[in-house]
Amino acid sequence: MTKTYDALVIGGGHNGLVCAFYLARAGKRVRVLERRHVVGGAAVTEEFHPGFRNSTASYTVSLLRPQVIADMKLHDHGYRVAERRISNFLPFADSYLKLGGGMERTAAEFARFSPADAAAYPAYDAALSRVAGVLRDLTLQSPPRAGGGLAALASAARQGWPLARLDLPAQRDLLEVFTRSAREFLDGWFEDDRVKSAFAFDAVVGNFAGVSTPGSAYVLLHHVFGEVNGKPGAWGHAIGGMGAITQAMARACEAAGVEISLENPVAQVLVDGGTARGVRLESGEEIAAPIVAANVGPALLYRQLVAPGDLDADFARRIRGYKTGSGTFRMNVALSELPDFSVLPGKALAEHHTAGIVIAPGLDYMDRAFDDAKALGWSREPIVEITIPSTVDDSLAPPGCHVASLFCQQFAPQLPDGRSWDDCREDVADLIVDTVTAHAPNFKRAVIARQIHSPLDLERKFGLIGGDIFHGHMSLDQLWAARPVLGHGDYRSPIKGLYMCGSGTHPGGGVTGAPGHNAARAILADRPLIRKLLRS
């Protein structure tokens, strides 16, 4: 007899798994259909050279919501996070900055450049923490459905209440964060460019924009709402790489009764009279279910998996205009030894090797990288973050060796002059290695092997349209109730029974589990009577 399902989830990325878990826990028969040979989407670990494993794409953890960790009992399924000894290390031409290890220590570092900035830091940190706290509280709430009647009004009022209760300075900070560029925002707090650059890097991560682009301050904030092992704002390394998180999630799903099917790419969402009826796989097999939850991003879902005739013209036009392409180039390298930085010499493991090492010396450097990328495709002086997870996790590389993630920003999603990333990826990888080598002269020599992901590779391998690491720009017009399109910010698509549960919905990208959690709640709330009231 053919098996029947209450719900199908298209994609076994972490949000698809989270959504499937909550649905199964509520008694639904759920099947996850994943295109690749492995679950996890952008959160996977791979052996990229014999004996060397690393997180392939996403590489560091902070944003995963504690409630999701607890509900899925991820610790029982092997989830463990190692903290970095310090958070960041920024080498400059003839000096460096270390961040982390406590407020006093970071302030003392800033004081080497500017006593005024050191004095300003505690207030900055408190202000950002307060605003991040508001954002954190909103992550597991569904945005109101614009045009959704009384229920939506009540939901908007409920979610707006914590903002209204903030004191005036905090409301001003919030306004600045949502509307200003990272440069304007940081100029309001600090005077030294090196100190500002320590914070500005977060604003360009996955954001094809300059630090002077209005709205870039928000992306900075998006990266600080997380926590590691109960420490707000901290980032850490999942032991076994990011794939260990999604493998733990898959085990939680299976324990809850979810069926996971690998190498089962979905070709089309089947729609009949405006209602989803199931999916057709690329193999031609059709699987019926009254609920379909799409973990793939909005651009992939609506431009490729839903037939054009199943969308109304206005929605289809807006999805065509949905902005996707984060300008990110991602490499993994196998290393024979640790980088020996000119400004902080030493190849023996030291605290700065455990940090996020950021090569982005100054706000002008970052703006130049964006301007170059718009004109040329990438910057001659790229922005590179290096993390070396093997410094805190010895399961990733042979003894004495290391693996490093190179996370590089401002690489145009589409190259000018019709060039293909396939023709340039090796040259760009060389440029990135040279950029690190300019600060750590032994780096190039230490590279044993490398794995390269251009924006096009990210699209082909993970289904990230335009290589967008967040399933779409995190700009004001594509956030909260407007993510992906105003009127569908509540995880419900324009097609009855079709839901969205990936990073293209609130609260956006990152390994948070929040879209999956919130989408499951929306699905479970949609019993016929409730659906009718919500749409009234």
Q: Does the protein bind ligand FAD through residue 455 (CB under 6 A)?
A: no
Q: Name the minimum Å distance from CB 321 to ligand FAD.
A: 21
Q: Does the protein bind ligand FAD through residue 458 (CB under 6 A)?
A: yes
Task: Among 97, 198, 291, 469, indicate the residue that binds ligand FAD (CB under 6 A).
Answer: 469
Q: Does the protein bind ligand FAD through residue 15 (CB under 6 A)?
A: yes
CA-nearest of 332, 333, 433, 416 to 372 is 416
Q: Does the protein bind ligand FAD through residue 63 (CB under 6 A)?
A: yes
Q: Does the protein bind ligand FAD through residue 33 (CB under 6 A)?
A: yes
Q: Does the protein bind ligand FAD through residue 478 (CB under 6 A)?
A: no
Q: Does the protein bind ligand FAD through residue 302 (CB under 6 A)?
A: no
Smaller CB separation from ligand FAD, 64 or 118: 64
Smaller CB separation from ligand FAD, 292 or 458: 458
Phi, psi of 461 (to 5 degrees): -80, -40
Q: Does the protein bind ligand FAD through residue 228 (CB under 6 A)?
A: no
Task: Among 463, 489, 494, 497, indicate the residue that binds ligand FAD (CB under 6 A).
Answer: 463
Contact 215, 181 (CB under 8 A): yes
Task: Among 113, 189, 208, 462, indicate the residue that binds ligand FAD (CB under 6 A).
Answer: 462
CA-nearest of 408, 482, 508 to 204 is 408
Give the amino acid at 274.
G
Task: Among 13, 243, 466, 484, indicate the residue that binds ligand FAD (CB under 6 A).
Answer: 13
Q: Does the protein bind ligand FAD through residue 392 (CB under 6 A)?
A: no
Strand ranges (DSSP E) for 466-533?
498-500
CA distance 42 to 469: 8
Q: Which stretch binds ligand FAD (CB under 6 A): 68-76, 178-186, 393-401, 458-466?
A: 458-466
From residue 119, alpha-carbon distances to 99, 188, 189, 191 in Å are 15, 14, 10, 11
Q: Does the protein bind ligand FAD through residue 88 (CB under 6 A)?
A: no
Q: Does the protein bind ligand FAD through residue 479 (CB under 6 A)?
A: no
Contact 442, 478 (CB under 8 A): no
CA distance 12 to 15: 7
Smaller CB separation from ligand FAD, 148 or 466: 466
Write each residue from 260 to 289 as x if it is in contact with ligand FAD (CB under 6 A), else as -, in one continuous string. Answer: -----xx-----------------------
- Strand pairing partners for 405? 332, 387
Smaller CB separation from ligand FAD, 195 or 357: 357
Phi, psi of 54 (to 5 degrees): -160, 160
Q: Does the protein bind ligand FAD through residue 35 (CB under 6 A)?
A: yes
Q: Does the protein bind ligand FAD through residue 136 (CB under 6 A)?
A: no
Bridge-based pairing state of the strands 291-294 and 498-500: parallel
Smaller CB separation from ligand FAD, 110 or 407: 407
Q: In the Cβ-directed half-sphere of 461, how many Cα atoms lie within 13 Å?
A: 21
Smaller CB separation from ligand FAD, 182 or 260: 260
Q: Does the protein bind ligand FAD through residue 329 (CB under 6 A)?
A: no
Q: Which residue has the tokens 């970052």?
A: 366
Exposed / middle / buried, residue 107 (Cβ in 10 Å: 0-12, 13-18, 19+): middle
SS3 at position 381? strand
Q: Name the minimum Å distance from CB 358 to ligand FAD.
A: 13
Q: Does the protein bind ligand FAD through residue 36 (CB under 6 A)?
A: yes
Q: Does the protein bind ligand FAD through residue 470 (CB under 6 A)?
A: yes
Task: Among 510, 514, 523, 526, indicate the residue that binds ligand FAD (CB under 6 A).
Answer: 510
Q: Which stretch binds ligand FAD (CB under 6 A): 74-82, 250-258, 441-449, 503-511?
A: 503-511
CA-nearest of 89, 358, 324, 306 to 202 is 358
Q: Does the protein bind ligand FAD through residue 41 (CB under 6 A)?
A: yes
Q: Name the minimum Å distance from CB 454 to ligand FAD.
A: 11
Q: In the Cβ-directed half-sphere of 203, how many Cα atoms lie within 13 Å?
A: 31
Q: Which residue has the tokens 């923490």?
A: 129
Phi, psi of 218 (to 5 degrees): -65, -40
Element (H, E) at 49: strand 45-49
Q: Does the protein bind ligand FAD through residue 11 (CB under 6 A)?
A: yes
Q: Which stretch binds ligand FAD (CB under 6 A): 28-36, 93-101, 360-368, 431-439?
A: 28-36
Q: Which stretch binds ligand FAD (CB under 6 A): 309-317, 443-451, 460-468, 480-488?
A: 460-468
Q: Does the protein bind ligand FAD through residue 502 (CB under 6 A)?
A: yes
Q: Does the protein bind ligand FAD through residue 30 (CB under 6 A)?
A: no
CB environment 294-310: b (16+ within 10 A), e (fewer): bbbbbbbbbbebbeeeb
Q: Which stretch binds ligand FAD (CB under 6 A): 76-84, 133-141, 150-158, 294-302?
A: 294-302
Provide DSSP, 417-455.
GG--HHHHHHHHHHHHHHHHHTTSTTHHHHEEEEEEE-H
Residues 43-62 that bind ligand FAD (CB under 6 A): 43, 57-60
Q: Which residue has the tokens 């949000």?
A: 15
CA-nearest of 225, 245, 244, 220 to 235 is 225
Q: Name the minimum Å distance from CB 293 to ligand FAD.
A: 11
Q: Does the protein bind ligand FAD through residue 443 (CB under 6 A)?
A: no
| Cβ within 8 Å of residue 345, ≥6 positions away | none
CA distance 306 to 316: 10
Smaller CB separation from ligand FAD, 54 or 379: 54
Determine what percent of the chain falls in helix, strand and coil, rounding each to the nearest 5: 40, 20, 40
Residues that bind ligand FAD (CB under 6 A): 10-16, 33-36, 41-43, 57-60, 63, 265-266, 295-296, 300, 328, 330, 407, 458, 462-464, 469-471, 502-503, 509-511, 515
